[in-house]
Homo-oligomer: A and B are copies of this chain.
Amino acid sequence: MAIQKSDPDYVTALVRGLSVIRCFDKGFESLTLSEVAARSGLTRGTARRFLLTLEAIGYVSQNDRTFRLSPKVLDLGYAYLASVPLWEQAQPLMKEIVDQIDESCSLAVLNGTDVVYLARVPPRHLHTLPVHVGTRMPAYVNSMGRVLLAELEDADLDEYFRHAELRKLNRYTVTSETVLRRILHDIRKNGYSMLEHELHEGRRSMAVPIRNRDSVAVASINVSALMSRATKKEFVDRFLPLLKNAAFLIGKAI
């Protein structure tokens, strides 16, 4: 059971400092002190102390009156990637799949109500999505997410639906809890998920679970392609055996 904000052990300064790092984002690369304060909800004085501290240890750089993150910040996320042996085992096997089918192959884990991409091998052609390591997507509308949701215990799945925000990304996105539960049930039975249109119109993806030695699904691996480039039959006949084989080998290796 995690501690609460009110717990005397809760280090507010750390939480605030991490929120300052997360202020910087796409479209907000370079921020003034006032902007950081506004985005983090801190006073100017507090935001300033955090920025100066982050600058002192090399995570932020200052130029005139604006601050930006420095590449050292990658060390933090990298500590996670470096600590996950899965990643390195998976990469060559994913590359083999992409070599054979020239469509993108990704690996993700569940984190809260999202999947987080841990590895990705893009195809040679350019019809691909701007997904990279660290990208998050809502689990209910992602082939890998659905595979991992399908594996949850009943209580955990109830918990998921209590917190998930089911939004329509386009007219195809399924957002009904009842329908999603039925889909997850079928995925569990079939051993794979297939997603069409729901995330991006005209795109199809298929995912299978990666199970550890105790048969627990710890991650999921998928292939994603434009529907105009690969038929449903191709996904089932050609891509599925490749995915299952890679998932088996990765699972054995971890």
Contact = CB atoms under 8 A, between A and B. Distances in A.
Contact of A99 (B3, B50, B124): B124
A108 to B, nearest CB: 9
Contacts of A130: 88
A29 B71 CA distance: 23
A155 interface: no
Given A10-B56, A14-B50, A24-B79, A71 B2 contact: no
B3 A53 contact: yes
A55 interface: yes
A75 B134 contact: yes
Interface residues of A, number: 72
A84 to B, nearest CB: 7
Contact of A56 (B2, B48, B70, B80): B2
A233 interface: no
B25 A17 contact: no
- What is the count of identical protomers in the complex? 2
A24 B80 CA distance: 7
A69 to B, nearest CB: 4
A55 B18 contact: no
Interface string A1-38: 01111010111011111100111111011000000000
Contacts of A77: 73-78, 134
Interface in A72-131: 72-85, 87-88, 91-92, 95, 99, 109, 111-112, 116, 118, 121-122, 124, 126, 130
A179 interface: no
A10 B84 CA distance: 32
Nearest to A136: B75
